[in-house]
Structure 1
Amino acid sequence: MEFVDYAKGLQPYISEGKTEADYFVAIISNFLENNALDNCHLLNYKKDTQYRYMTGNKISRRDAQYVYDHRDLIKYTEWLNKKIYNSDSREQVTIWLTKNGKPGEYIENECQELLEEIILSLCQNVQKQKKTSSEFEESLILVQEIEKKIASLPKPLPLSVPDTITDTEMPYISQLFAAYGDAETCPNFCEDTFNKFPEYKHDFDDRRIEYFSAASIERSVAELNSQNLSNQFDILKTATFDNIVDTSRKKYSNGYEKMLNVMEKATSSPVENYILSSSPYWINGKIKKGVCHHLVNDGKLKWVKSND
């Protein structure tokens, strides 16, 4: 892997919208020991030179050797962890790593190892002979191009949460009330009961945000007006259900505890075959949780089975 491939691959998740030059500086400066920053030529080059490193220009052997000799792997790993957390993109980075030969289990460390390997290869200045691309390599390039196009999709249009509960929300909201009531031994839990148990009102508001986050994906998929993507929300629901079904079948002390465990499982699991997950805007924790509420609406999931 070349440096430009590495940087571009992680750009949607760790650049925070920086310019190409500033993003390059962020990678190098966070990979270096603090006491080595001032003497690093790469950080002192002009912006247009730094920009060209992001478009394919090779880092010189001398500059690469300096970076390698003064690398701070713990610092870089901690920086990656912060950026990936802020962008809520652990799943996307995991997918990217597995497609580049890494297991995708300890993603910050694997990203660090990749960059370390790239810098070391630049130090060694190994000249690899170009070879004719195989059919497999050409297919891989095509897949990567498709993923780049997906990653550049516009953000889905957000749906605001209505002040009053809509009819379409009633199935999952009834289950929320049942879960709250199950936890507090209050069988007739309703909106008025929030006065007695105000802590659940905050949870309830969050759940409605989750539901409409997923609903925005459903609507935005339709508005993409693409036959190839028209089934993506159904694929997302199917993948989510497959991820959480075993967790939902376990025994819990109450329905609220069951819901929390299922939501945790949903957010931590990758969604197979949902190709829009290549874009950081089309999948995140709120969307995954919201899909669970849609599964409740579909009758595939319940927090309290007796609530029919």
Structure 2
Amino acid sequence: MQEHGLLQHHDLPDLRQTRPQHRHHLTDPPTPNSERPYFYDAEGMRRNLRDVIENGEQEFDALKVDLYDGICDTCASDYADGLLRMRATLSQAAGFPLSGSVIAQFPSMIKAAEKKGLCHMLVNDHMLEWVHENE
């Protein structure tokens, strides 16, 4: 099933079988090289903001939009495969200074791990994609 020209996760072949060198990114429970902890770091920040500040969800969404604006060109560039695209995008995100939300006034709250997790959330929101159809 395709939606808006993007592949859905169930359309992709099982990467554990087709690309065994990427297996450690897909493990459950996560290994130190897994991407899953980054997602949960960002999710934890989202929940804390929702519970602690007024308009926490809106401020969190503003952070995602700000980060998207800083990394979308990196993610849209040509790469040999989706893993290289993901790594380049996450690296760009980790160093990108966020300023699009009042939360950005507290930089110690938004470390590299949370920024990387925000990238995975942007993929889930269909704003970014790691693997293009032709890869």
TM-score, normalised relative to structure 2: 0.76
Deviations 1:119-144 (A, max 9, x none): xxxxxxxxxxxxxxxxxxxxxxxxxx
CA 253–190 in structure 1, closer or farther in 2 if over 3 Å, else same: closer
CA drift of 1:202 comes to 3.2
1:248 aligns with 2:75: yes
Q: What's 2:14 paired with?
A: 189
Q: What's 1:200 paired with?
A: 22
Of residues 38, 41, 57, the one that matches 1:210 is: 38
The structure with higher relative contact order (CA 8 Å, sep 6+) is 2
Of residues 159, 171, 174, the one that matches 2:9 is: 174
Q: What's 1:277 paired with?
A: 104
Name the SS for the 2:133 alignment partner: coil
**1:96-107 equivalences in 2 (<5 Å):** none
Contact 2:99 2:105 in 1 (8 A): no
CA drift of 1:273 comes to 2.2
Name the SS for the 2:38 alignment partner: helix
CA drift of 1:252 comes to 0.8
Deviations 1:173-204 (A, max 9, x none): 939xx5xxxxxxxxx2245x39x72x534333
CA 268–225 in structure 1, closer or farther in 2 if over 3 Å, else same: closer
Q: What's 2:87 paired with?
A: 260
CA drift of 1:280 comes to 4.7
Contact 2:15 2:23 in 1 (8 A): no
State the percentage of identical aligned residues: 27
Deviations 1:144-194 (A, max 9, x none): xxxxxxxxxxxxxxxxxxxxxxxxxxxxx939xx5xxxxxxxxx2245x39
Q: Which runs of 5+ in 2 are unaligned?
A: 1-7
Of residues 48, 51, 56, the one that matches 1:223 is: 51
Indicate the RMSD between aligned Cα atoms, in angstroms. 2.7
**1:139-178 equivalences in 2 (<5 Å):** 174=9
**1:74-89 equivalences in 2 (<5 Å):** none
Of residues 63, 73, 94, the one that matches 1:236 is: 63
Deviations 1:70-106 (A, max 9, x none): xxxxxxxxxxxxxxxxxxxxxxxxxxxxxxxxxxxxx
Name the SS for the 2:109 alignment partner: coil
**1:53-92 equivalences in 2 (<5 Å):** none
Partners of 2:70 and 2:43 in 1: CA distance: 20
Residue 52 of structure 2 aligns to which amino acid in structure 1? L
Residue 189 of structure 1 aligns to which amino acid in structure 2? D
